Amino acid sequence: MTLPVFVFVAALVVAIGISVALAIGRGAALANLREILGVGAEGDLEAAARAVVDGRTAAAWQAQQRAADLANLADLIAVGILRLDEELRVVLANHAAHAFLERAPGELPGLSPMEAFADHEAEAILLSARERLAASGEVLVGGPDGRRLVVRARRSPAGGFWVVLEDVTELRRLQRIRSEFIDNLSHELRTPLANVRLLTEALTRDLEAFDAPDRVRDRVAKLDVESGHLVQMVNELLDLSRIESGASQLYLDVVDLGEVARAAADRLRLFAERQGVRLESDVPEQPLLVKGDAERLGQVLANLVHNAVKFSPTGQSVVIRAERGADEVVVTVADHGPGVPRADQARIFERFYKVDRARVRGQGGTGLGLAIARNIVEGHGGRIWVQSEEGSGSTFSFAIPAADFA
Ligand code: ADP
């Protein structure tokens, strides 16, 4: 064989080898494809591949529809909704979010928190959500006359963040008006009420000098009890507005809670006697020290004792106890009144909550006393609770962390 013929034959052999290898390779790839698509050797591979492509197009279209549907729903909701990416830039925002942040439709996407809210507190809430999964707070956007928004942000399991904005401008305005009204009214009621109390006391003293009939004495005693309830109610209303305006600061000092309990018992003993209720105190001599605001803690006790007396049948007793626990001082006020049904026990510490309005008719109150008591106790880092069986009395307790002198 001459050289050119040899080269030609060799090239032919290589070309055939490559073609055979390619054919084998393609055959293997096709077999793989059949296996992936679940098409047998006789099945129509092309039809199966088309079905996959069609399915993918349909899924993309459905996803698009779902997103449009969700955006439509989000626009109907009167709460602002924002979707942020990992960098906290706005990805999506509904109509309400645009309206609350005073933006034209479509202006929010792409903005950073500072650009969207123009408020450092809002930015801080979002940064904190990025650090801690979720965060919330109330912010004022758009200057002093702007909107009050409650901002709640939470990391989404799908990445990024959801932010919900609630416009509470009107709610806060109404709350302020209500609070100012209650505050003014209570102040106005205070003076005439103090005069009624003074007159009742003078009348009680006068009656002792005269030989007045029992009927008259009885009426004056009732006048005293009822005006006592009124004073308590006005004080509670004033406390509520003080708490709501954020002015109810605690002045902490080392306080003997046993002494506070004894003082409350002394103050309310006469009131109890006029209701025909015996007030007993079982408080140890040694000091039970806590870090607290003596006046506020006295108010908690006055409240619990006032309730206990108010709900006690005539002839029964109310007992005030104070004792040192492991790391706290516990004070209890026990009565033999109607008790608090189990279902109401957690709720009576809510504002304005009263168990059964019919049952307490004639012993009316504001339904605020226990809410105020809880606010004060929790402000001391303590807790307050009730144990009661309906029909056999109640024991209200609160615990304040003991003052550490070590
Ligand atoms: P109020 O001004 O009505 O007494 P509180 O907040 O002090 O308001 O109490 C809330 C409700 O809890 C009362 O209306 C009453 O239904 C119930 N309650 C409170 N103390 C007692 C008690 N010692 N015995 C029975 N029920 C009580």
pLDDT in tens, 177-205: 888 888 888 889 988 999 999 999 899 88
Residue located nearest, by CA, to atom 20 of ligand 1: 307
Q: What is the CA(307)–ligand 1 centre distance, in A?
A: 6
Task: For the chain, count helices (H), then strands (E).
Answer: 10, 12
For residue 171, report the distance from its CA to the centre of ligand 1, in Å: 28
Question: Residue 257 and residue 105: Cα distance in Å, rounded?
Answer: 60
Residue 150 dihedral angles phi and psi, to the nearest 5°? -90, 125
| Cα of 67 from ligand 1 centre, angstroms | 52
Residue 6's pLDDT is what?
Answer: 72
* Distances in whole angstroms, Cα of residue 47 to Cα of each of 29, 56, 134, 285: 17, 14, 49, 95
Ligand 1: atom nearest CA of 366 is 2
| Residue 258 and residue 287 in contact, taking contact as beta carbons nearer than 8 Å | yes
Q: How far apart are CA 299 and CA 56, in angstroms?
A: 70
pLDDT in the model for residue 210? 83
Q: Which residues contact 221 (CB under 8 A, 6 or more apart)?
A: 204, 274
- Report, as an integer, the average pLDDT of 71-92: 92
Give the pLDDT confidence score for residue 1 in this predicted structure. 61
Mutate to test the pocket of ligand 1, among 332, 360, 370 (most ligand atoms within 8 A of CB): 370
Q: At 386, list the tokens.
A: 């009730």
pLDDT tens figures, 92-106: 999 999 999 999 999
Q: Of the segments 58-67, 148-157, 209-218, which one has the largest average pLDDT value? A: 148-157
pLDDT band at 359 (very low <50, low <70, confident <90, very high): low
Ligand 1 binding pocket includes 337 (Cβ within 6 Å)? yes
Atom of ligand 1 nearest to the CA of 370: 6
| C-alpha–C-alpha distance, residues 203 and 90, integer Å | 72
Nearest CA among 62, 37, 57, 60 for reference residue 49: 37
Cα of 45 vs centre of ligand 1, distance in Å, is: 79
Ligand 1 centroid from CA 107, angstroms: 53
- Give the phi and the psi of residue 140 in degrees, each rounded to 5: -110, 115
pLDDT at 287 (0 to 100): 93
Residue 161's nearest CA partner among 135, 138, 122, 124 is 135
Candidate from 347, 348, 352 with most ligand 1 atoms within 8 A of CB, to mutate: 348
SS3 291: strand
pLDDT for 402 beyond 90 = yes
Give yes or no for a contact between 261 and 305, defined as CB atoms under 8 angstroms apart.
Answer: no
What pLDDT digit, counting tens, does each position of 242-269 carry? 777 766 788 889 999 999 999 999 999 9
Residue 368's contacts (CB-CB under 8 Å, 6 or more residues apart) are: 236, 237, 239, 240, 351, 352
Query: What is the total residue count of the chain?
Result: 406
Do the beta carbons of residue 320 and residue 277 sit within 8 Å?
no
Which atom from ligand 1 is nearest to the alpha carbon of 236?
2
Using one digit for the tens of pLDDT, what is the confidence trace for 200-248?
A: 989 988 888 888 888 998 899 888 888 888 888 888 888 877 777 766 7
**Does any ligand 1 atom lie closer than 6 A to the CB of residue 340?**
yes
CB atoms within 10 A of CB 391: 10
Q: How far is CA 313 from CA 174, 316, 389, in A?
A: 40, 6, 16
Spatial CB neighbours of 149, under 8 Å, sequence gap ≥ 6: 80, 100, 122, 138, 139, 140, 141, 165, 166, 167, 168
Q: How far is the C-alpha of 197 from the C-alpha of 187, rounded, in Å? A: 16
Q: Is 270 helix (H, G, I), strand (E, B) or coil?
A: helix
Q: What is the pLDDT of residue 406?
A: 35
Query: Which DSSP symbol is given to 43?
Result: S
One-letter amino acid of 404: D
Q: Which tokens go with 344?
A: 């109401």
- pLDDT for residue 148 is more than 70: yes
More confident of the two residues 367 and 152: 152
Angle at 342 between CA 338 and CA 344, to 5 degrees: 85
Q: Separation of 365 CA from ligand 1 center, angstroms?
A: 8
CA angle 51–53–56, rounded 5-degree value: 105
**Least confident interval from 24-33, 64-73, 137-146:** 24-33
Mean pLDDT value of segment 34-48? 83
Residue 348 Cα to ligand 1 midpoint, Å, equals 7
In the structure, what pLDDT confidence band is assigned to residue 364 with cuts at 50, 70 and 90?
Answer: low
Measured distance CA(59)–CA(65) in Å, rounded: 10
Lowest mean pLDDT among 17-31, 66-80, 121-135, 341-355: 17-31
Judge if the beta carbon of residue 234 lies within 6 A of ligand 1. no
- pLDDT digits over 270-327, tens only? 889 988 999 999 999 999 999 999 999 999 999 999 999 999 999 999 999 999 988 9
Cβ-proximal residues to 174 (8 Å cutoff; 6+ apart), any chain: none
Pocket lining: 111 vs ligand 1, CB cutoff 6 Å: no
Q: How far is the CA of 354 from the centre of ligand 1 (A)?
A: 6
Ligand 1 in contact with 311 (CB < 6 A)? Answer: yes
Give the confidence band of 361 by pLDDT, cuts at 50, 70, 90: very low
Whole-model pTM: value is 0.62
Please say if the pLDDT value at position 405 is more than 70.
no
